[in-house]
Amino acid sequence: MLQVINPATGKLVREVAAATADDIDRVMERSETAYRAWRHTTFNERAKVLRDVAQYMRDHIETLAPLMTEEMGKPKKEALGEVTKAAWCADHYAAHAESYLANDELASDASHSYVRYLPLGPVLGVLPWNAPFWLAFRFCAPALMAGNTCVMKHDPHVPACAEAIAELFDQVGAPANIMQNLPLATPDVAQAIADKRIRGVSFTGSDRAGAKVASMAAAAIKPAVLELGGSDPVIVLADANLDEAAEAITTSRIINAGQSCIAAKRIIVEAPVYDDFLARLEQRLRKLTLGDPAREDTDVGPIARDDLRQNLHRQVTETIEQGARCVIGGEMPDGAGYYYPVTLLADVEPHMTAACEETFGPVAVVLKAENADQALTIANDTEYGLAASIWTTAERGEMLSLQMEAGQVVVNGLVKTDPRLPSGGIKRSGYGRELGPHGIHAFVNAQQVWIGPKQD
Phi, psi of 357 (to 5 degrees): -100, 155
Instruction: Give the Cα separation of 56 and 174 in Å (integer).
Output: 12
Residue type present at position 271: A
Instruction: Give the Cα separation of 64 and 57 in Å (integer).
Output: 7
Identify the DSSP state of 257. G
C-alpha dihedral (417, 245, 74, 60), degrees to nearest 10: -60
Q: Of 440, 35, 443, 26, which is closest to residue 195 (Cα–Cα)?
A: 26
Instruction: Give the Cα separation of 22 and 3 in Å (integer).
Output: 21
Q: Catalytic site residue 326?
A: no
Phi, psi of 173 (to 5 degrees): 75, 30
Q: How far is CA 159 from the centre of its chain?
A: 18
Instruction: Give the Cα separation of 17 and 52 in Å (integer).
Output: 30
Which burial class, exposed, middle or buried, applies to 39 when counting CB atoms under 10 A from its CB (0-12, 13-18, 19+)? middle
Q: Which of 70, 82, 227, 357 is catalytic?
A: 227
Q: How far is CA 293 from CA 69, 72, 211, 405, in A?
A: 6, 10, 33, 35
**277 in Cβ contact with 246 (< 8 Å):** yes
- HEC letters along 168-224: HHHHCCCCCCCEEECCCCHHHHHHHHHCCCCCEEEEECCHHHHHHHHHHHHHCCCCE
Instruction: Give the Cα separation of 340 and 318 in Å (integer).
Output: 16
Q: Catalytic site residue 150?
A: no
Pairing of strands 112-119, 104-105: antiparallel
Identify the DSSP state of 266. E
**87 in Cβ contact with 55 (< 8 Å):** yes
C-alpha dihedral (416, 417, 419, 422), degrees to nearest 10: 110
Instruction: Give the Cα separation of 124 and 120 in Å (integer).
Output: 12
Instruction: Give the Cα separation of 101 and 282 in Å (integer).
Output: 47
Residue type present at position 43: F
Q: Which of 261, 270, 356, 405 is catalytic?
A: 261
The answer to whether the peptide bond before residue 293 is cis (omega within 30 degrees of 0) is no
- Please give the positions annotated as active site: 227, 261
